Structures are given as C-alpha cells and as structure tokens.
Amino acid sequence: MFDFLGNVNIFTGQFQQGVWTNGNAFIEPALCAQTKQSGHLYVRSHELTISDKPNSQVSLPMRVVSINPVGAEVRVSLAPQGWSSDHLWEATLTHHAWQAATYQKGDTVYAMPHIGYFFNHDDTAPHRLQWPFLAADSLVYDI
C-alpha cells in the first residue's frame, strides 16, 4: 500500500491520444508503458502550484473556494471546473508565493502539479512523474 501523510489531490484520467483526460481537463504524462494507460494521479498539496493560465502539458481549471493562512503557509481550496473529482483540491503555498499571485475567492485558476504519483489499474507501486518535462522530440516548453 502507498500512503501519504495528510490530504492528497487525486486526478482520475482516461488515457487518450497521449494525454490523461477528465472532462475538459488534461495532463500530458512523460510517456512510458505504465503511463500509456488510464489511472489515478496523486498530487500532494505542497507539490502543486496555481497559475492564471494552463500550459501545453497540464490544464486543470479550478475555482478558488477558500483561502486560509495557517502559520508559515497559505492553504487554498480549489473546486474543479468542467471536470470531476470526488473532493476539493488543496494547494499549499508560501505567503510570499500567495502575495505575488493576487487571486481571490471565486477566481478561476489552473492547478499545476510539479510532482505526481501515478497508478494505472495494474499497479501496486506508483510511478513518480515530474512537470514540466521536455519531451524527446521537443525543443521548447511554454510556461
């Protein structure tokens, strides 16, 4: 069994044409035999940031539901927009990162995982993935 300390965000994706899709959201994984399948991507709240726009590898539209400064961090609760998840997502940001962002409750943002742990339907152990990655046939990554 693979355990996380604390809450974890889960993206359930169907593998189609090189990306995992869920409604109008998508995540492009670094392709290998294990990731060319449908499954679940687990993302810890501190391994996730938010942006005002998607990029070519990840588009997870969200609505800011709540903003909670707690000690040295800011916890932002996010509701998926146009795709499904069983729970709200949470991003844990530093106060500096949050102050630079200027988002407010109700704003549309895009969740951007930096690290994720993928399980396809046959896996007993996760496949650790990172974003952004530079695809083998690509020279540029847009931020």
pLDDT above 70 as % of the chain:
88
Q: Which domains does the chain have, with CATH numbers?
A: 8-130 (2.40.50.140)
Dihedral (CA of 49, 9, 62, 16) sign: positive
Contact 65, 128 (CB under 8 A): no
pLDDT at 1 over 50: no
3-state secondary structure of 99: helix
Q: Which pTM does this prediction carry?
A: 0.87
Separation of alpha carbons 105 and 49, rounded Å: 16
User: What is the DSSP annotation of 73-86?
Assistant: EEEEEEEESSS--S
Contact 19, 41 (CB under 8 A): no
Residues 74-101 have pLDDT tens digits of 999 999 999 999 999 999 999 998 889 8
Smallest CA-to-CA distance from 85 within 120, 139, 43 is with 43
Residues 115-141 have pLDDT tens digits of 999 999 888 888 999 987 655 555 555
Residues 39-77 have pLDDT tens digits of 999 999 999 999 999 999 999 999 999 999 999 999 999
